[in-house]
Amino acid sequence: MRGYAAFLVLSLAGCGEPGPVGEDRGVTANQIARLSTPEVEPTGDPLASAKLQPLRRSDSIGAAASGGCRFSANQRILLVSTAAASVARVGGQLRHFVSAAPIGGTGGFFEDRNVSISVGRAEPSAAAGEAGRWPARITVTNRRTGAQTRLNGHWRCEPLVREPQ
């Protein structure tokens, strides 16, 4: 009985009032924002958060000057990747991606915190079309909602041009 009473006293000692409101527990605002669920869920097209929109001239990070790879459909550039960065406009927002795998003539895999993009050539040979440009398919996935879209187009890679030193 004495052991049970000691266990009960020690157990209750661990239960106390929570710390003061607003107490800093080593969590940053960025960590809270990443894990928080938005107060208002977007309405409308459930696939909108995974749809690509054409890049604007100012979005393209100078791909024409520095080489790199790009995905296009219907004569519009939708994804640009260079040695410096990868960008795409998804769900109306310009997003910057990191490469999750090597990027080259066969395609690439790009991701940020919320969206992942996979590009792959549809035909293994370069015989179709001009050199360095292949029929390809792009898949955009919103990792939070699971929304996913696919689009056929062309993948083109050009050698990187190094700046003179």
Query: Looking at the domain assignment, is residue 165 inside a domain?
Result: no
Kindly state whether residue 43 falls inside one of the protein's structural domains. Answer: no
Q: Are residues 96 and 145 in the same domain?
A: yes
pTM: 0.66
Residue 14: the pLDDT is 52
Number of independent structural domains in the chain? 2
59 and 23 in one domain? no
The verdict on 79 and 133 lying in the same domain is yes
Q: Given pLDDT bands bounded at 50, 70 and 90, which one contains residue 131?
A: low
Residue 85 sits in the same domain as residue 19:
no
* Helix residue spans in 56-140 (DSSP H): 63-66
How far is 73 from 146, CA to CA, in rounded Å? 23
Model confidence pLDDT, tens digit, residues 133-165: 899 999 999 998 899 999 999 999 887 554 444
Query: Does 135 map to a domain?
Result: yes
Let me know if residue 163 belongs to a domain. no
- For residues 74 and 150, membership in a common domain is answered with yes
CA 27 to each of CA 21, 23, 32, 45, 78: distance values in angstroms, whole numbers, following the listed order: 14, 10, 7, 34, 36
Q: How confident is the model at residue 122 (pLDDT cuts 50, 70, 90)?
A: confident
**Are 18 and 93 in a shared domain?**
no
- Residue 56: pLDDT band (50, 70, 90) is confident
Same domain? 9 vs 56: no
Q: DSSP readout, 117-145? A: EEEEESSS-S-SSSTTEEEEEEEEEETTT
Domain with 95 in it: 48-158
Among the listed residues 16, 17, 90, the one whose alpha carbon sits nearest the alpha carbon of residue 49: 90
Per-residue pLDDT tens for 70-91?
A: 999 999 999 999 877 899 999 8
